[in-house]
């Protein structure tokens, strides 16, 4: 059976930990029993992980850039214009 829009919304809410206990348990059961829901859950988890890693990498680069700019060697920083 194809997934409805409500199924996808519930899946996202489940993966974000936003459901109450009874609804969460029901969703776990549905994911276990429905191969289509399993596939979509894996895809969504993968996307969430990739976005989280991108965000983390971006924050690390930003912190490293500002550390370089705050150093005494600011003139040699890769982005000296942002240091002024």
Domain ranges (residues) in the chain: 5-82
**3-class SS string, the chain:** CCCCHHHHHHHHHHHCCCCCHHHHHHHHHHHHHCHHHHHHHHHHHHHHHHHHHHHHHHHHHHHHHHHHHHCCCHHHCCCHHHCC
| Residue 52 pLDDT | 85
Segment 26-67, tens digit of pLDDT? 999 999 999 999 999 999 999 999 888 887 766 666 666 666
pLDDT at 84 over 50: no
When comparing pLDDT for 60 and 77, which is higher? 60
């Amino acid at each position: 059976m194809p997934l409805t829009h409500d199924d996808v919304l519930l899946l996202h809410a489940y993966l974000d930990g936003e459901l109450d206990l009874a609804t969460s348990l029901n969703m776990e059961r549905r994911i276990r029993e429905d191969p289509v829901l399993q596939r979509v859950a894996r895809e969504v988890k993968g996307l969430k992980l990739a976005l989280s890693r991108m965000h983390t990498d971006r924050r690390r680069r930003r912190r490293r850039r500002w550390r370089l700019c705050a150093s005494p060697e600011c003139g040699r920083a890769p982005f000296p214009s942002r240091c002024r």
